[in-house]
Every structure is written in structure tokens, then in C-alpha cells.
Amino acid sequence: MSASLLWGVGTFATPEGAVAFPVSAADHEADTAAAGRALDSLAIAAGDRVLVVGLVSECAHLVPFHEALRDRGAILSGADATPFDAPRTAKLVGQLGVRAVLGVNAAVLDGLESEGIDPAAVLAPVPIVAARPDAVARLRAAGLAPLVWAHAGPAVAVECAPGAGAHVDEQQWVLDVEDGQLVVGVRATRALDHGPFRTGLRASLDRTPCACGRADVRLVGVGLIGMAER
């Protein structure tokens, strides 16, 4: 590929370790459109304050959501998905009155708890909380009803408002389950080799009609392989 067509390079996790993957300008445009559809399914609109929690290494997954939020006139804030930066999440939620927190993970929950801050108390006032698989069970045990936000290899799965499973853009990705583990391959012409790639996630696939109107496959029962829920 010509360097002029390369938007950037991201990374995603597999059981064998991190994989670097190229993202072309066309890939990024398609991912931003898919992010917009995910935001539509969450009814995030102009003027909504949204906090996205992530890492610099996740830019290929997250920047499409940043741009889709900007395009619809939402107000974006960011915090690192690390224990050290967890108090920033609590401060932004408390000061800005955010409507949605996207991507919160167990590291943030751990960081809040280490500072004597109850994560459930921080997130309870937020209408939309989309959490990583390592945080979902903890938040549900605390009485919250988080939606699922999962980085499924190079793809992003986001649960819609009805809570019927996490949608993945099937225009770009091919999904299957092998021995209980979600694997993701490339359907479209992308800079990334076709795979498939093991994701380290357990999930089942649901292709029945969804109440949100999206036709994409949904991941149900998403969790981390080898990690007991707590």
C-alpha cells in the first residue's frame, strides 16, 4: 500500500499477544460510519456530553468514535483507561454531567476503588454506560445496567440501547465462534490481512432482528476467556 493511503497503525489483543494492524484512509472512513451507526443506536445526539475512556494504543478503535461524535455535534471528553487516571473519569462525570461514558474498564474501577471512590456511585447518574467485558459483571453486581463495549480483535462491538447484544459492523468483519472463542476475519477490502484472528473473548452470535433496527450480528454473553466473572 502507498504510504499516502495509510491513515495509521493500530493494535489489538489476541491470546498470542498484541497484533499491529494497518488502517487505510478508506478503512477509517468505513469505521467512522460504523461508529456513527453505533451512536445512533444509543440515541447520542448533538449537544450530548460524552466521555470516552481509552488508551493511546487504541486510537484505531477509538478515533472513529471521536470523529463520529464531533460530526453530530456531541461534546467529547477523554480519560485514560488506567488506574492512575481513574480520578479524572470521576471528576469529569461529576463536573460535566455527561450523558454517556464509553469504554470504562476494570483498570478504571480498580483505580477508583484504590482512591476510596465507589465506581457505582460515580457512574449511577450516567444514563448510558458502555463497559469493557472485564468491568461489566462488577458494575452489574453493584446494581448498574451497563451496556457492552468490546474490542473484538480489530473490530469494535457496541451494545445498543435495548441491551440485546453488542453489534459489530458486518460490512467490514466476518465473525465466527470456534471452541467457544470469538474469531474475527476481514470481509471488506482493508489494509489488514484477512485473518481470522482469535480475540480472547467468549461470546455467542445472534442474528435475529434487533429492537434497535440494526441488522448487524450481535455478540451475546461477551466475556474474557479464562477470566472468572466477579
CATH number assigned to the domain comprising residue 11: 3.40.50.12780
The verdict on residue 47 lying in a domain is yes
Residue 197 lies in a domain: no
pLDDT value at residue 188: 82
49-54 vs 75-80, strand pairing mode: parallel
- pLDDT-derived band at 2, boundaries 50, 70, 90: very low
Q: Would 229 be classed as within a structural domain?
A: no
Handedness of CA 162, 165, 171, 172 (dihedral sign): positive
In a domain? residue 43: yes
Query: What does the pLDDT read at residue 228?
Result: 46
Q: What is the pTM of this model?
A: 0.94
The whole-number average pLDDT for the span 20-39 is: 97
For position 195, what pLDDT does the model report?
A: 86
- What is the tally of structural domains in the chain? 1
Q: Is residue 174 part of a domain?
A: no
Enclosing domain of residue 22: 3-160
pLDDT digits (tens, 9 = 90+) for 128-154: 999 999 999 999 999 999 999 999 999
Answer whether residue 196 is part of any domain.
no
228 in any annotated domain: no
Q: Is residue 213 part of a domain?
A: no
Q: Give pLDDT tens digits for 40-63.
A: 999 999 999 999 999 999 999 999
Q: How far apart are the first and last CA of the chain?
A: 45
- Among 128, 134, 169, which Cα is nearest to 150's? 134
